[in-house]
Structure 1
Amino acid sequence: MIPWLEANTPFPDVSEALTTDAPGLLAAGADLSPRRLLQAYRNGIFPWFSEGQPILWWSTDPRMVLHTDAFKISDSLKKTLRKVERARTAKTTGAEPADSGWDVRFDSAFEQVMRACAAPRKDGPGTWISEDIIAGYGGLHRMGYAHSSEVWLDGELVGGAYGVCIGRMFYGESMFARVSDASKVALAYLVAFLRSHGVRMLDCQQETGHLASLGAKPIPRSQFLEHLRHAITEAPIEHWEVAPPLTT
């Protein structure tokens, strides 16, 4: 039986998370306020639940993470990144190359990115991102803790990613793409920015083949928590400005 959290109930120690049936499940209940979400992330805990379920809180072991110096860029993605970067460069020089409609921005459409991530997918239903989730993370965004990386084409939002950043620790939440490679482009620019600001690890939470193809790997939760304890105490990143990706 997992603990039920009331409004002021603290989280249990992550060592109490289930190891069978639902490995990593720690607790249920409470709310999705920015205060509760920050408390969760600072302790290596994240919410994840389906429609009709109570709020479920998890701390998985092992933990899927992406080291910023291990991000894998395929040859096809390199070609797309070069095209996007040429278009971005053209905006500062006045040139007009082919495909000049591409752009990458941070934090200009945070809620739009969240809603796009929540939309039904071609290969299945929408994600678990509910209106309460959007409200909670929107609050974190207004407080400067949640950020989006956005890919635009001819003025239309076509891809993006969002997550939470505390100190020099980034917690990835979700991505979406409306054109080929758009979510990977958003992630490539995000990873490059984070690496340039001393962020060494992105929390990916759970193991998937897609994340593994991008360079993510599982590590013991104890190792993740040790890194987390130090990273969240470092100075926060003050200016979120797009820079070229690591490999173009």
Structure 2
Amino acid sequence: MEREALARLILDQLPRFRSRLYLADAEALAQLLRRSPMAEVMSGDYAWSLCFEPAFVASLCWEGFLPICSELGGNGAPGLFVLMPKLHTHRCVLEPSAMHIPRKVRKRASAYRLTVGQAFEAVVDGCAAQHRPSWLFPPLRAALSALSAPSSLRGVGGATPCFVTFELWTRPPDGCTEPAQLVAGDLGCVVGRSYTSFSGFHTASGSGSVQLALTGALLQRAGFGWWDLGQEHGYKSGLGAAAVPRSQFLRTFRRLRAERNRLAEVVGPGGDASEASALPPRASAEAAAAAAAADGKAP
């Protein structure tokens, strides 16, 4: 069925979609934003679309959306995939330098190694396996893969949205021939000096907390203005994140997306981020957090 005819059928059969903003494609989004700011157009958290073109997904990320996917129907039979771009009324954001890192996480960190962009599909698989039902359905996965940064991280420093993965590996003892194992990862989108986390996973106890800590340290050294964590949750508040209203989020996001990060510059050969993600001493980390709070730098 032609896309617009299918959209009309969905509106006719599913009343909940009638109150949500429909975005046909990237051009429709651009036309909408020429008329009104996004903060004035969105009433709830969700818009919807039947378009999964990578250029459209990139446009959504450029405007601060988290494009997620939903399946209508299904129940064992093939369903209809619908893109559900989410722009939270309140967004949870963290300044990397103000991240709270427990002492036990610091002790565990030396047993692991962080890389960037070296196992994209494996991290996506891990996220989909851990979070069921998953929103990482095939059409969205294809778009994210098409927008993923190369393993060299070329082009990831500018304003073009790029999807990257942060991978946590075991660090076998010296002399051990056992290969390193992927035990945690984070999937997200880099736009300038903003990093938005889409999903994460872990397979070993405590590895998820280590991955978060090392990723935060890396983002700080790479010059990111904030770490956008999406929807508010208790564990995110425990990291030091705060929820900000959508209008405030969009103002800061638009500034950060136009500024360059240094991710490709601080990551070593083969995506090795071990040196750049080294955790700062506890005392200096606490001092940095206190200085950020005193200067009013938190988003």
**Coarse TM-score class (shorter-chain normalised):** 0.7 to 0.9
Matches within 5 A, 1:94-133: 102-120=112-130, 125-133=132-140
1:130-170 residue CA offsets vs partner (Å, 9 max, x unmatched): 12222111111146411111111242211111211111111
Identical pairs, percent: 26
Q: 1:247 to 1:127 in 2, by over 3 A?
A: farther
Give the SS at the match of 2:135.
coil
Give the SS at the match of 2:253.
helix
The structure that has the greater radius of gyration is 2
Q: Distance in 2 between matches of 1:50 and 1:180?
A: 30
Over the aligned positions, Cα root-mean-square deviation in angstroms equals 2.1
Q: Distance in 2 between matches of 1:211 and 1:78?
A: 18
Give the SS at the match of 1:155.
coil
* Alignment pair present for 1:4 and 2:26: no
Q: 1:62, 1:220 within 8 Å by CA — same for their partners in 2? A: yes
Match of 1:151 among 168, 174, 190: 168
Give the SS at the match of 2:124.
helix
* Alignment pair present for 1:191 and 2:216: yes
2:45 equivalent in structure 1? 24
Task: Tell me the TM-score normalised to structure 1 length.
Answer: 0.81
Task: Tell me the TM-score normalised to structure 2 length.
Answer: 0.68
Q: 1:240 to 1:165 in 2, by over 3 A?
A: farther
* Alignment pair present for 1:33 and 2:53: yes
Matches within 5 A, 1:1-248: 1-7=19-25, 8-10=27-29, 12=32, 13-18=38-43, 23-25=44-46, 27-52=47-72, 54-81=82-109, 83-84=110-111, 102-120=112-130, 125-142=132-149, 144=156, 145-153=162-170, 154-237=179-262, 238-239=264-265, 241=267, 242=273, 243-247=276-280
Instruction: Give the structure with the higher percent helix.
Output: 2
- Structure 2 gap segments, 5+ residues each: 1-18, 33-37, 73-80, 151-155, 157-161, 171-178, 268-272, 282-299
Q: Distance in 1 between matches of 2:148 and 2:196?
A: 13
How far off its partner does 1:246 sit? Answer: 3.0
- Structure 1 gap segments, 5+ residues each: 85-101
User: Which has the higher mean CA deviation after the structures are superposed, 162-171 or 135-144?
Assistant: 135-144
User: Which has the higher mean CA deviation after the structures are superposed, 156-165 or 54-63?
Assistant: 54-63
Q: Distance in 2 between matches of 1:246 and 1:103?
A: 12
Q: Distance in 1 between matches of 2:49 and 2:254?
A: 25
Aligned residues: 222
How far off its partner does 1:244 sit? Answer: 3.3
How far off its partner does 1:115 sit? Answer: 0.9
Q: 4+ residue stretches of structure 1 with deviation over 6 A?
A: none
How far off its partner does 1:3 sit? Answer: 2.9
Give the SS at the match of 2:115.
strand
